Structure 1
Amino acid sequence: MINALGWNIDGSNNAEQFLVALARKNDKPPTHMDLGDLTPEELFIVGYLLALDDYQTLGPLSTQGGNDLWRSTAVQLMSKAAYALPENFTVQFVRSLVTGQAWFGISWCALYLEPANVLANFPPEKRNLRPQAVQNAMEYLNLYESYCLEGDI
C-alpha cells in the first residue's frame, strides 16, 4: 500500500499527512504527537513514508525542532519499530533497505549486507512479504555483492 504512494525526486509529505491523520484519530494537535503515541507498526509506516518522502537525505520530519517524533529520521523510526518487532520480516527487511540507502555512495558492500543479513536470519517460511517483492529488491542489490568480495567495507 505504501509503495502505491510512490516517491517524488522533489520530495513529498506523506509521512506528515499520515501523522496528521493519526493526531486527528487521537484527538491531539499533530505537533503534540510523540514517539510514545505511536505503535511499532505506526512507527514503521511513518519511517517508511518518510524514507520515500526524502530518500536522498533521509532527514527528519522537521528541521525546525519539535519533539522527539518530529526530529526523528526515517532510519531512527524504522530502527525503533524493528527493535519492537524482531520477528516481523517485512519490518526488518524494509528497515534494512532504508538503512542501506544511508550507505549509498559510502559503502556499496554495506548497502548489500543490510538486506542480505536479514534474509539469512529469516527462512522463507518465516517471511511475511511477497516473495516477488523480495526477489525484485535482491535482483538489484545483488549487483553490490561483488564489492564485499573485493574487500570494500
Structure 2
Amino acid sequence: MKKHPFILLFALTAMLFALIPLPSARADSPVTSTNFYVAYKDESIVQKALQAGGMTAELATYLADESSPLALRAAIINAIGWDTEPTQRAEAYAQQAYGKSLAAIKPSELRGDERFVIGYLLAMDDYLDTREAEQWLEDARRQLPDSFTAALIHAIVQAQEEMMKDAGWPQVWKTVADVAFDPDLKMDMKPEAARIIIDYMVSYSDKKVINPFAEESRLTLRIGDRDFKLNGETFEIDPGYGTAPALINGSAYLPVRFLTEAVGGDIRWEATTHTVRIDTAHVSMKLTIGEKTAVVNGKEQQLLGAPYISNGRTMLPFRFLGETLGFDVSWDAATREIGLTLGSQSHK
C-alpha cells in the first residue's frame, strides 16, 4: 500500500525530534522553584557555585566550615541547583569534605549545621524522593532549634514530600507558613531570600494569604463591604458566604476565618460547645459564642464584645483579632474603614 505523503512527513519529523536533545524540563515544586540564592548573588562564593553547577573542593570546604553562615551555605546549595535526573552532589561533598563516602558517615558524629548541609544537598540531588533528605534536615533542625534558615529549608523539603503524597496543596502552604510566621525563630537569613521563598509558596494556598516578608502588607475593609483590599488590590472576603465587616453597638467586627487563614492559621468549630479554636504559628485562641472571655495562649483575656455567628461565620471585634494575630490596626469612623497592617516579619 502506498503511504500518504503527510504520514511520511509526520514520521520523518518525529524521527528528527527524537534525535535532537531537548532542554531539561523545569520542575515546579517547593525544592526546585524557590531560587532564593538570588538574594545572595553579591557573594563571590555563590557566584562560584552558579558557575560550577556541581560540587568543587572549594565549595565543599566552605560548606563544611562551622564559621560559614548557615543561610549562605544554603544559598550555595540552592545556586548549585538541581537536575531532572538524580545527581550525586551530596556524595561528592562527603568525599571532598570528609574523605569518605556518605554511607560511611555517622550522623550522630556531626554537628547540626553539617547535617543541614548534607540534608539539603540530598534534597537537591533527587527532588522526587526527599525522604532521606527530610530525615537529615529534621535532625539538623532539632540541633539548631532557633535557626530560621534550618526551619525554613526543612519545611520546604517537608512540603515537597507532602506534595508528592497528595497531602493537599493547602497543607503544603501551611507547613511553610508555620515557620514563616513564627516570631520565636532567629532571623539568620536575608529577608529578601525569605520573601522569594514565600512568594512562591503562597501559590499552594487556596486562600488569599500574606507574605510576612513583603515590605508591608496592608488590608483595608469597610463596614458592610464584602470585598477587602490587600496593598490596593481588591478581593472578596469570604467567597460563597457573603460575609462582611459589621458594626454592632459601636464596635466593628470582622469574620475570624478570613484573617486567620491570611496568616497561615487554622480555625476549628466545635458545634456541641459553640467554641472556636484558632491556631497560628505564635497564637492559640479559644473563643465561645456569646461570651466575652477568650483564652489566648493559655491566659484569659476580656473582649469588648462577644463573638457571634453571621452567615455561618464567627465574628469577633476587629481590634482584638487584628492585634492578637500580629497586625497594627486602625479605625476611621468617618469612612467606617478598618485598616490592618503587617510589617516585614520580626524575628528575634
TM-score interval, normalised by the smaller of the two chains: 0.7 to 0.9
1:115/1:102 CA distance change after superposition, 3 Å: same
- Which residue of structure 2 lines up, in the alignment, with residue 41 of structure 1? 113
User: 1:41 and 1:114 mapped to 2: Cα distance?
Assistant: 22
Is contact 1:89–1:122 with CA below 8 Å preserved after alignment?
no
* 1:20 aligned partner, one-letter code: Q
Helix, strand or coil: the match of 2:128? coil
- Which residue of structure 1 lines up, in the alignment, with residue 171 of structure 2? 110
* 1:37 aligned partner, one-letter code: E
Superposed displacement of residue 32, structure 1? 2.7
- Which residue of structure 1 lines up, in the alignment, with residue 199 of structure 2? 139
Q: Does 1:79 pair with 2:138?
A: yes
Q: TM-score of the superposition, structure 2-length normalised?
A: 0.36
* 2:84 aligned partner, one-letter code: I
- Could you list the runs of 5+ residues in structure 2 that have no partner in the other structure? 1-75, 209-260, 267-348
* 1:129 aligned partner, one-letter code: M
Helix, strand or coil: the match of 1:15? helix
Larger Rg: 2
1:46/1:16 CA distance change after superposition, 3 Å: same
Is contact 1:90–1:129 with CA below 8 Å preserved after alignment?
yes
- Which residue of structure 1 lines up, in the alignment, with residue 187 of structure 2? 127
User: 1:12 and 1:81 mapped to 2: Cα distance?
Assistant: 22
Superposed displacement of residue 147, structure 1? 6.2
Q: Does 1:7 pair with 2:82?
A: yes
Give percent identity, aligned residues only. Answer: 27
Helix, strand or coil: the match of 1:121? coil
Is contact 2:146–2:184 with CA below 8 Å preserved after alignment?
no
* 1:85 aligned partner, one-letter code: L
Between Structure 1 and Structure 2, which shows a larger proportion of strand residues? 2
Range with bigger deviation, 48-57 or 15-24: 15-24
- Which residue of structure 2 lines up, in the alignment, with residue 58 of structure 1? 130
Is contact 2:113–2:140 with CA below 8 Å preserved after alignment?
yes
Superposed displacement of residue 143, structure 1? 1.5
* 1:101 aligned partner, one-letter code: Q
User: 2:105 and 2:194 mapped to 1: Cα distance?
Assistant: 33
User: 2:135 and 2:207 mapped to 1: Cα distance?
Assistant: 26
Indicate the RMSD between aligned Cα atoms, in angstroms. Answer: 2.1
User: 1:21 and 1:36 mapped to 2: Cα distance?
Assistant: 19
User: 2:126 and 2:207 mapped to 1: Cα distance?
Assistant: 26
User: 1:32 and 1:58 mapped to 2: Cα distance?
Assistant: 20
> Residue deviations 1:50-75, cap 9 Å, x none?
0000001115xxxxxxxxxxxxx000
User: 1:5 and 1:140 mapped to 2: Cα distance?
Assistant: 19
Helix, strand or coil: the match of 1:103? helix
Q: TM-score of the superposition, structure 1-length normalised?
A: 0.78
Helix, strand or coil: the match of 1:98? helix
Instruction: Name segments (4+ residues, structure 1) moved above 4 Å.
Output: none
User: 2:202 and 2:184 mapped to 1: Cα distance?
Assistant: 18
User: 2:86 and 2:79 mapped to 1: Cα distance?
Assistant: 15
- Which residue of structure 2 lines up, in the alignment, with residue 91 of structure 1? 150
Is contact 2:112–2:139 with CA below 8 Å preserved after alignment?
yes
Superposed displacement of residue 92, structure 1? 0.4
